[in-house]
Structure 1
Amino acid sequence: MSSSGNTGNTLLALVTGAIIGAGVGLLYAPESGDKTRKKLKKGAKDAQLKLNQKYQETASIIGEKAAKAKVEFESKLEETLSNASYKADDILLAMENKLEELRKKNAKLHKEVTVEKAKTSANKAVV
């Protein structure tokens, strides 16, 4: 953020300097009005060229920084998504292991209930 603030200050200083320079030139101009106007026009064109150049440089710097920030963001996003994927895989594996344990316990309980029913039926048949 401070870079764009510095750029704005630089542009403001450049424009202010051009205006002050033109004013001082008028005050101390020993030449005719026609020559003075030509000098002012040339000074204004020079200031405009400098301003345009500074604008192009600033736009280029901002574009480069935006591209760099985009690449960094995409890299961080990919890293975050990858980490989240690994964590999700770990959670799924733990859940699958727990489910398998529950299935084994259920099968064991089912077998015990079946054996108890068989014993009860056998006892009733004997009596």
Structure 2
Amino acid sequence: MKDSGKVVVALLAGMAAGAVLGLLFAPEKGSDTRDKLNESLSDLGEAIKERAEQQIDQLNDLKEKVLAAVKAKASKVEEIVDDEIIEHA
């Protein structure tokens, strides 16, 4: 994971911890606190899911670029080998 990914994960974890602590120390009824906590955790889950989808998309793009580069190099090597075979035949 790149440094930016680590920063985002740390930021999300910090936000979640802050939300949990804020809710736990808030002077509200337990049911209200639980509802807010569930909502905050749901939001955090969605944020993590979105970030994971972004990372997967980036990895797929990288995979396609690497495959294209490898195919191009393999094609060049094949041409060189064919030329060498023709020269020495």
Band the TM-score falls in, shorter-chain normalisation = 0.7 to 0.9
Distance, in Å, in 2 between the alignment partners of 1:54 and 1:20 is 15
Query: Would the alpha carbon gap of residues 44 and 4 (structure 1) be closer, same or farther in structure 2, given more than 3 Å must change?
Result: farther
The one of 59, 81, 84 aligned to 1:98 = 84
Structure number with higher relative contact order (C-alpha < 8 Å, ≥ 6 residues apart): 2
Aligned residues of 1:15 and 1:51 also touching (Cα < 8 A): yes
Aligned residues of 2:16 and 2:40 also touching (Cα < 8 A): yes
Query: Would the alpha carbon gap of residues 91 and 61 (structure 1) be closer, same or farther in structure 2, given more than 3 Å must change?
Result: same
Aligned residues of 1:11 and 1:54 also touching (Cα < 8 A): yes
Q: Does 1:80 align with 2:66?
A: yes
Q: TM-score, normalised by structure 2?
A: 0.78
CA apart distance, 1:49: 1.1
CA apart distance, 1:2: 2.9
Structure 2 unaligned blocks of 5 or more: 1-5
State the identity %. 17
Counterpart residue identity of residue 86, structure 1: A
The one of 36, 41, 48 aligned to 1:55 = 41
Q: TM-score, normalised by structure 1?
A: 0.57
| Count of matched residue pairs | 84
Q: Does 1:12 align with 2:34?
A: no
Larger Rg: 1
CA apart distance, 1:11: 3.2
Distance, in Å, in 1 between the alignment partners of 2:30 and 2:57 is 40
CA deviation map 1:46-66 (0-9, x unaligned)? 111111111111111111111
